[in-house]
Amino acid sequence: MVIKNGQEWGSEAPAPQGLCIAASDSELSACIGEGHRNVVVTGGDMWRTIGAQSRTVVAGDSAMCLPIDIMKVELRLDDESIVSKIAVSTVVLRFPNMKGGWLRGSLIIVANAQFLGHWDVAPRGHPNDGRVEMTQVDKAMGLRQRLTARARLGTGSHLPHPLIQTKSVKNFVWNDEGRSQQILWIDRQLIGRVRSLSIEVCNDEAFLWM
């Protein structure tokens, strides 16, 4: 069930049998992909989003159960093959330049978690609201402006700028439209060059125990 503004998130209950343990976002998405719906997280951006609490939870323990949404990602690789992935925290598309990283070219961040490493990319988002937060940086944005924006990302105080678009979406579609391909990361794992991708937000696909 999608959480609403002001609604309490999660509930306390006995932890079930068959808990999967995930120390990172990629491990969490792997657990879900293998069919595990009940997971104990001990690290990663989603772990930080839900409070960064570490404790040993075993079956039968009384623990908080937090439902989360996931992103189902379908992408077309550089070799034209179609691949399906699960993302729990972030999907990042970046211009495939050799130097400069995100300081050059276009950048798209689609976030279900609040954090991406040290960056507070989605301070207004929630992992169980049925939506994801998209931030898009235009390739025309200059180096000095990007450095200023980066300094503010650490605190979640985003810099209003006509070349930065932010919005909350239920689905997202991107394709290269004949332009240069982009480099894709899912949950901080490098996937490689892609020609297109689509993201569908799926509600209550996993339950995190803490």
Position 82 scores a pLDDT of 95
* Stretch 169-192: mean pLDDT: 88
How high does pLDDT run on average in the chain? 85
Cα 80 to chain centroid, rounded: 24
Pull the structure tokens for residue 109.
């961040």
Contact 102, 94 (CB under 8 A): yes
Q: 70-202: which CATH architecture?
A: Sandwich (2.60)
Q: Which of 24-33, 80-89, 158-167, 168-177 has the lowest mean pLDDT?
A: 158-167
The domain limits of the chain are 11-69, 70-202
Contact 19, 61 (CB under 8 A): no
- Tens of pLDDT, residue by residue over 98-151, are 554 555 667 899 999 999 988 888 888 899 999 999 988 766 565 566 666 655
pTM score, whole prediction: 0.85
pLDDT reading at 40 higher than 60: yes
